[in-house]
Copies of this chain bind each other. A is one copy, B any other.
Amino acid sequence: MIRSAAARASLGRVAGAGRRYVASSAQARARAAEPKQPVVVTDSIPGPQSKAILGRLGQLQDTRAAVLVGDYKQSVGNYLVDADGNQLLDLYCQIASIPVGYNNAAVLRAAQGEEMATTLANRPALGVFPSREWADVLEQAYMRVRPAGLDMVFTTAHGSDANELAYKAALMHYARTRRGAAAPTGRDLASAMDNEPPGAPHVAILSFDGGFHGRTFGALSTTRTKALHKLDIPAFRWPRAPFPRLRYPEDRFAAENAAEEARCLAETERLLRESAVPVAAVVVEPVQSEGGDRHASAHFFREVRRITRQHGVLLIVDEVQTGCGATGTFWAHEQWALETPPDMVTFSKKMQTAGFYHTRALVPDQPFRNFNTWLGDPSRALLTRAIVDEVLARGLVDQVRATGAYLKSHLVPLAIRYFRVFDSVRGDGTLLAFDCTSPELRAELLHLMRLEGVNMGGSGDVAVRFRPMLTLTNAHVNVFLTRFESVLNKLYQKHWPR
């Protein structure tokens, strides 16, 4: 860790002046090696070291999106250390993708030693020459936490191709149910080579307004977040359904929200019935994350499942951001209490490997149809195994539920007290969010929070999303709350002085 005189000298400045929150001593163990609180040693973030490195990196890659330069050797637990020695409590976690803390001891153990080295140095084409250990790794890394009803797992490289390969499985299934036992005709095969129907058919994956499912061409055709994600890129003419825009607090807007969900469900059903391009599958996130942390009720999702079944359409649940415990259950869709499980569940991010769970019915009729050279990465699967071990052994999903409840219980009254800055506190587990009252205020808040030593991220136009590690404790929440109140007071003093 950074232990320079400058860093020590700065402690006073960043300790925060607001009300103090007290941690339960039972949770202190987990962060023994972490800083006790954030330390900010530069006047701006990125600081001078980060800027110098970004200047050099900018010769080789586009760095305009960079916030800071990480010093990952020095980072520990919930704290991200940057190239200038700033020690930030990280509630954003590499866009929601660090599961159990920087330099987690169990993950580091899995990253060392002969098994990892052999696996890294000999990357197989898994579909043709799988390793003798692969079935065991799949069992331990993925099947122990498989969603109910889904017995197989297709491993991929990242969330976008997890979704695309799930879409391909759905589209092949769709064609097979219509073709029946008949072989594809010569016209089917020839037209497929020409990118024309009937071989390359006009069949759709339906997604929801505000949904994000990745950036490659097929995934991007279902992504409906920002125009700049899609502009200038050809897309398939696939329909999009409206996603509920709920109002908060939920108990106050119960009737409006129910009506809004009913409206969206009716339109979804209409699209399944009447879409110009027939729909093979519906893809939906349990929480629209990039889209601005938009939620819907368990009832809404149960109805989506009911409607898809009724119309013979597959349901793909995209748990790339919500999976691996963040909402207080291992998979967010567990909270829907579905009668019939989804047909596929995709994952990535915190799992540190990507893929989709599926039923045996979704294996294509012939080999090599849903296929590529590497089919995932066995070395990263060893990390997934260690992460799942850690999550289960330490009961981190329960911890997420408890810590999230603690955090939310403080955010709700703060939203009332500081209503000019934020409202609409929402979410489950630690996958929480609130809306700022303007995009400009959000930018200001995120900037000030970083200078107070807390790294956070936005989603959509005005939301701030909490995407901490599963190892977040009430003590970390207290560190956050102290600094958050300090920033809220600064914003009030600046914009609404008495």
| A161 x B161 contact (CB < 8 A) | yes
**Interface residue A221 (Cβ < 8 Å from any Cβ of B):** yes
Closest to A94 in B: B125
Q: Which residues from B are CB-within-8-Å of A54?
A: 130
**Interface residue A135 (Cβ < 8 Å from any Cβ of B):** yes
**Interface residue A460 (Cβ < 8 Å from any Cβ of B):** no
**Interface residue A422 (Cβ < 8 Å from any Cβ of B):** no
Report if A67-B129 is in contact (Cβ < 8 Å); known contacts: A61-B152, A233-B171.
yes
Cα distance, A174 to B159, chains bound together (Å): 27
Report if A60-B153 is in contact (Cβ < 8 Å); known contacts: A108-B117, A121-B383, A125-B97.
yes
| A111 x B120 contact (CB < 8 A) | yes
Q: Which residues from B are CB-within-8-Å of A123?
A: 94, 97-98, 352
Cα distance, A189 to B233, chains bound together (Å): 11
Cα distance, A125 to B165, chains bound together (Å): 23
Q: Which residues from B are CB-within-8-Å of A214?
A: 372
**Interface residue A242 (Cβ < 8 Å from any Cβ of B):** no
| A217 x B215 contact (CB < 8 A) | no
Interface string of A133-176 (1 = CB under 8 A from B): 01100110001000000011111011111001101100110111
| B230 x A193 contact (CB < 8 A) | yes
Identify the stretch in A32-40, A198-206, A403-411 within 8 Å (CB) of chain B at 4 or more residues: A198-206
Closest to A116 in B: B111
| A192 x B372 contact (CB < 8 A) | no
Closest to A161 in B: B216
**Interface residue A43 (Cβ < 8 Å from any Cβ of B):** no
Report if A121-B94 is in contact (Cβ < 8 Å); known contacts: A62-B367, A161-B161, A216-B216.
no
**Interface residue A300 (Cβ < 8 Å from any Cβ of B):** no
Shortest A92–chain B CB gap in Å is: 9
Q: Which residues from B are CB-within-8-Å of A102?
A: 121-122
Query: A121's contact among B111, B158, B203, by CB below 8 Å, is which?
Result: B111
Query: A216's contact among B107, B112, B154, B217, by CB below 8 Å, is which?
Result: B217
| A138 x B221 contact (CB < 8 A) | no
Closest to A383 in B: B120
Identify the stretch in A69-77, A245-253, A333-341, A425-433 within 8 Å (CB) of chain B at 4 or more residues: A69-77
Shortest A111–chain B CB gap in Å is: 4
Interface string of A45-58 (1 = CB under 8 A from B): 00001000110110
Q: Which residues from B are CB-within-8-Å of A373?
A: 94-95, 97, 158-159, 348-349
Cα distance, A202 to B395, chains bound together (Å): 51
Q: Which residues from B are CB-within-8-Å of A204?
A: 234
Q: Which residues from B are CB-within-8-Å of A229?
A: 368-369
| A61 x B216 contact (CB < 8 A) | no
Shortest A58–chain B CB gap in Å is: 9
Closest to A154 in B: B61
| A94 x B124 contact (CB < 8 A) | yes
Of listed A53, A111, A160, residue having the most chain B CB within 10 A = A111
Cα distance, A60 to B142, chains bound together (Å): 10
| B125 x A228 contact (CB < 8 A) | no
**Interface residue A413 (Cβ < 8 Å from any Cβ of B):** no
Q: Which residues from B are CB-within-8-Å of A143?
A: 60
Q: Which residues from B are CB-within-8-Å of A103?
A: 118, 121-122
Shortest A173–chain B CB gap in Å is: 9
Of listed A70, A107, A172, residue having the most chain B CB within 10 A = A70
**Given A75-B122, A349-B373, 20 more pairs with CB closer than 8 A:** A53-B130, A61-B155, A68-B129, A70-B122, A72-B118, A102-B122, A111-B118, A158-B161, A161-B161, A171-B233, A175-B231, A192-B232, A192-B235, A193-B227, A200-B233, A200-B235, A201-B234, A217-B221, A218-B218, A348-B373
The 7 closest A-B pairs by CB, nearest first: A217-B218, A64-B367, A195-B235, A189-B227, A157-B157, A175-B232, A200-B235
**Can you list 30 residue pairs at the A/B interface with Cβ under 8 Å?**
A57-B130, A61-B152, A62-B127, A62-B154, A64-B366, A66-B127, A66-B128, A68-B129, A72-B122, A72-B124, A72-B131, A94-B129, A98-B123, A102-B121, A116-B116, A120-B379, A120-B383, A167-B217, A174-B232, A192-B230, A192-B232, A199-B227, A199-B232, A204-B234, A215-B370, A216-B216, A217-B236, A228-B368, A231-B369, A377-B380
